A and B are shown apart, each in its own frame.
Chain A
Amino acid sequence: MEELKPPVWANRLLRRFLRDDLAEEVQGDLEEKFYVDVKLKSVFRAKLGYWFQVFNYLRPFALRKKKSAQLNQYDMFQNYFKIASRNLLKQKLYSGINIAGLALGLTCFMVILLYVQHEFSYDRFYPNTERIYRVYQKQAGNEFMGTDYFAVTPAQLARVMMEECPEVAHATSVQRTSGLLSHNDTNFWQEGIAADAEFFNVFRVSFNEGNPQTALADGRSIVLTQTLAQTVFGDQDPIGKAFRYQDVAEDFIVTGIIPDPPANASFKYSFVIHLLYSSGYAEEIKHTGWSNNSYYTFFELREAAAVPDLENRFAALLKKYQLPEDYADYPFKDQYFAQSLTDSYFQTGVNFDLGQKGNLKVIYAYAAVALIVLLLACVNYMNLAVARSVKRAREVGLRKVVGAMRAQLVAQFLGESVLIALFALILAIGLTYGVLPYFAQIVERPVEFNLLANPYVIPALLVLVLMVGLLSGSYPAFAMSSLKPIDVLKTKTDVKISGFSLQQFLMVFQFVVSIVLIFSSVVIYRQLNFMKNKELGYDKENVVTIWIKDRALREKFEVLASEWQQHPGIIHTTMATSLPADISSSTLIKKTAADKDQLAIYQWSVGADFLNVFGIELVAGRTFSEEIKSDVTEENLIINETAARALGWTATEAIGKQVDRDGAKTIIGVVKDFHMLSMHLPIQPLMIRYTNFWGRFFAIKIKPTEIPQTLGHIEAVLKKNSIYPFEYQFLSDEYNKLYSSELKLGEVFGFFTITSIVIASLGLFGLAAFTTSQRTKEIGIRKVLGASVQQVVVILSQSFAWRVLAAFIIAVPLGWFAMNSWLQDFAYRIQLTWWMFALAGLTAFMVAGISIGYLSIRASQANPVDSLRSE
């Protein structure tokens, strides 16, 4: 029979936790009880009882004490803090450099982090955001403004999708609209959205007042945002009030009030009006066939429906609805795609797109640079800590002798660096508060720094500090804790710490980054300058442009022009469909009606005096004249040189030739090529038509003196003829808008470049200060032996100079590669030349030279007596 014994596992457990000195008596007692129980009760009950008794010994008095728990950790921590704070205070220069550098790096990082977070928050506030999609299309070959993607779709698409695509829950047609809203003789110029009845089923906005289901049910309804309702009606209830909009002869009734679109809405509006306000839309949807592309289509995907399934249906829809009578000689093949709302925010390069766009390339570039700057600051810390570690070698030796374990030393040093990072973070938070408003202005985004807005912000910052502290403290901690006490304590002289090569490497790395950043800034600046100063082919200075909001004014142009001309400050006036900086309309022409080859050509309609207003040069033929009947009846064209070449003629040959565009048109003039698009795109073929009616802008050439008076006159004339508010832009500002993203990039890069140079030179200064102080005796001896100040300076600066040179050699190909690929985006660009590299290298060299030079001159001028006396 098996020997009866207490449960083995219970016994093991007991021995695991029980104090050794109690083992004998306790096991004795428990065993005695066990055998009594076996006799009186059952074996099972006895065993169960044994387990019970074992668990009842889990009491503090009986537990085995951990070894370390007996040490006094608290005193040790106190000592760590004391030593750390003494070190910080004793070496104020190094501590200052460390904390300042880290604070700068952290500031950059936080600013960019907030910016990136803002960018990725766009349009995520709808309850059904992840199911909102839009349709856009590719018209293969129909290249326009550098791309053949278009954000616009036919008016009927939304309805057809709801009826024929099971994947679609709701779909809506949307257009941007702006105009004068009138209520009781008060007028408000507002920008809004025109949409069909499904709009609020796709974009589920919570209504302050009114019912989203029925708000746009009626073709004469309008929904206002809170702010607009407040401005117009104050405390009155706006529901049911009547508005007039644009020149529609019927009232629109307010059916709902919605909150203002939040700051991270990609398209903003102050009202939503039913699309039926537009007679064009009302006419369009009567047809079955698709013959227009003017509307944005958004839809809500059904839950569990797949986007590819839907996209597969588009080809069939196109075949069904692009009727042969409309599309017989249409040369392109359309292809439709669905894209989620959040993705479409980052989709650049789609023509006529709706709302603000984020550029992922730019976001990633910023994030990468911010990370690199933070890394630079960490590298600074590492470098200085390794350098300083020489001073602390004895501390490490002594700690080890009195029994410090390696893990404790590592923990001590890591703890110190985390503490410094924490200081830096507090400084950085202050700096971020200061810098963020300026940064937000540069990137034109309402980025906000609110520590309490998001419950993750504070923990995330603490994790960041921990990571920065651990990263920058890791190498010094491990290098120092590996010192052998006997080496450190035995000799009187300072020990060399291994890792000098790492230090050199890190310094070179810092300078590589700095040189690349300086170089990038130089290139960006030069390219911006190049675009600003390039011969444009037209004169953008002193041209006032007025976007015609009041359409009635177009018919009054001649009256306006003659009244304007009475002012001595006004030289020429004209009307145009777009401004020469941004001609964004194109069409197709043929040489003759029977010709198969079509030429894609940009089109621009202008008033008679356009050559004088815009300063465009005529190469051959003549310009339009109001006296010539065939000009006024739009039978004649002017083209640019590129168009003449594309048609196979020289400028003079082209005069009198005919092309076919809705009937034969005669070419009467050729203008010199001018930059009609941004510098990203090459100059394209252009045809210029005459108009005295279809303009969207007035353009007025004024004298550069007494501009305010001239503007006053322009305004007075307009005010007399229209109730619309007066707004104007200078053509040169409109031109600069084309490059706003590049200007932003330039400013942000400038900011980063300066920060990185400051950080790198701080680090260099600290390191140089340290090495020169290490070499005080050497310098003293050299001077005693007859070295001149210059010789000593050369000796001290040499090694740093070599490192900057090495960094320069590495930085050249990196910088060339990065900036060359950036420049590829411009059709007209500067050449990268050697002097740009030289400038960047020289700047880095100068910055390094100033900080090292100062220290080495000071060191070499010191009296050798002071440094040598002590021995």
Chain B
Amino acid sequence: MIETRLGEFEEVILLLVGILGEGAYAYRIAEEFKNQTGRAISIGATHSTLDRLETKGFLKSEMGSATAERGGRRKRIFNITALGKRVLKESRDFKVSLWEQYPAFKVNFN
């Protein structure tokens, strides 16, 4: 059985993949994570999460083109799948619904 629950860290990575679009490969995503959150993360940890998200079907990947700065090596470019997008949306809707049920914050949203 494939695990379909989305962890918090996984959600962030998944969003970053969406933000980066064509430039979403492991190193780039790790850098972006650091820029956005201020927390450093190793490429290996990012890669491991990407691999897991791909197994869950939220991401798909293909090898990109070779560039000189990588000694001619290709990158693996990750893309969000339709399932991934739907899961992200569900996650957001769920949280928004929770926020709306919270009286203290309800005013702000109006």
Contacts and interface: CB of A to CB of B under 8 A. Distances in A.
A53 B44 contact: yes
Interface stretch (B14-22, B46-54, B88-96, B100-108): B46-54
Given A56-B45, A61-B51, A62-B47, A29 B75 contact: yes
B4 interface: no
A460 B70 CA distance: 59
B71 A31 contact: yes
A68 B73 CA distance: 31
Given A28-B71, A61-B52, A52 B47 contact: no
Contact of B74 (A25, A30, A33): A25
Nearest to A25: B76
A24 B26 CA distance: 12
Interface string A30-64: 11110100000000000000001101111101100
Nearest to A30: B43
Interface in B23-49: 25-27, 42-45, 47-48
Given A29-B26, A30-B43, A32-B27, A59 B73 contact: no
Contacts of A28: 70-71, 73-75
Contact of B47 (A24, A27, A33, A57): A57
Nearest to B66: A28
Interface in A5-43: 24-33, 35
Contacts of A62: 44, 47-48, 51
A25 B75 contact: yes
A27 B73 contact: yes
**Chain B interface residue bracket vs A:** 10 to 19
Contacts of A53: 42-44
Interface of B is mostly: helix
Nearest to B71: A31
Contacts, number: 63
B74 A59 contact: no
Contact of B25 (A29, A55, A57): A29
Contacts of A56: 42-45
B26 A25 contact: yes
Contact of A52 (B42, B48, B75): B42
B48 A25 contact: no
Interface in B59-93: 63, 69-71, 73-76
A53 B48 CA distance: 13
Residue in B25, B42, B44, B45 with the greatest tally of chain A CB atoms within 10 Å: B44
Contacts of B70: 28-29, 31-32
Residue in A29, A31, A35 with the greatest tally of chain B CB atoms within 10 Å: A29
Residue in B43, B69, B71 with the greatest tally of chain A CB atoms within 10 Å: B43
Contacts of A29: 25-27, 43, 47, 70, 75
Residue in B25, B27, B48 with the greatest tally of chain A CB atoms within 10 Å: B27
A762 B71 CA distance: 75
A773 B88 CA distance: 76
A24 B48 contact: no
Interface of A is mostly: helix
Contacts of B26: 25-26, 29
Nearest to A58: B44
Nearest to A55: B44
A24 B27 CA distance: 13
Contacts of A58: 44
**Chain A interface residue bracket vs B:** 20 to 34
Contacts of B51: 61-62
B70 to A, nearest CB: 4
A59 B48 contact: yes
Contacts of A61: 47-48, 51-52
Nearest to A27: B73
A20 to B, nearest CB: 14
Contacts of A33: 27, 43
Contacts of B48: 59, 61-62
Contacts of B76: 25
Contacts of A25: 25-26, 63, 73-76
Given A25-B25, A25-B76, A61-B51, A32 B44 contact: no
Contacts of A57: 43-44, 47
B43 A31 contact: no
A427 B93 CA distance: 69
B66 to A, nearest CB: 9
A699 B102 CA distance: 113
Contacts of B44: 53, 55-59, 62
Interface in A131-183: none
A57 B27 CA distance: 13
Given A33-B27, A61-B48, A61-B52, A24 B73 contact: yes
Residue in B51, B63, B73, B75 with the greatest tally of chain A CB atoms within 10 Å: B73
Nearest to A26: B47
Residue in A24, A31, A35, A52 with the greatest tally of chain B CB atoms within 10 Å: A24
Nearest to B70: A28
A871 B10 CA distance: 73
Contacts of A30: 27, 43
A29 B76 CA distance: 9
Contact of B69 (A27, A35, A59): A35
A9 B42 CA distance: 19
Contacts of B42: 52-53, 56
A28 B75 CA distance: 7
Contacts of B69: 32, 35
B48 to A, nearest CB: 5
A25 B61 CA distance: 12
Contacts of A31: 70-71, 73
Nearest to B55: A61
A35 B69 CA distance: 8
Contacts of A26: 26, 43, 47
B42 to A, nearest CB: 4
Given A29-B26, A32-B27, A61-B52, A24 B43 contact: no
Nearest to A61: B51
A489 B66 CA distance: 56
Nearest to A57: B44
A52 B47 CA distance: 15
A33 to B, nearest CB: 5
B52 A24 contact: no
Interface of B: 25-27, 42-45, 47-48, 51-52, 63, 69-71, 73-76
25 contacts: A24-B63, A24-B74, A25-B74, A25-B76, A26-B26, A28-B74, A28-B75, A29-B25, A29-B43, A29-B47, A29-B75, A30-B43, A33-B27, A53-B44, A55-B44, A56-B42, A57-B44, A57-B47, A58-B44, A59-B44, A59-B45, A61-B47, A61-B51, A62-B44, A62-B47
Given A28-B75, A35-B69, 12 more contacts: A24-B74, A27-B71, A28-B73, A28-B74, A29-B26, A29-B75, A30-B43, A32-B69, A33-B27, A61-B47, A61-B52, A62-B51
The 6 A-B pairs with the shortest beta carbon distances in the complex, nearest first, are: A56-B44, A28-B73, A56-B42, A29-B27, A57-B44, A28-B70
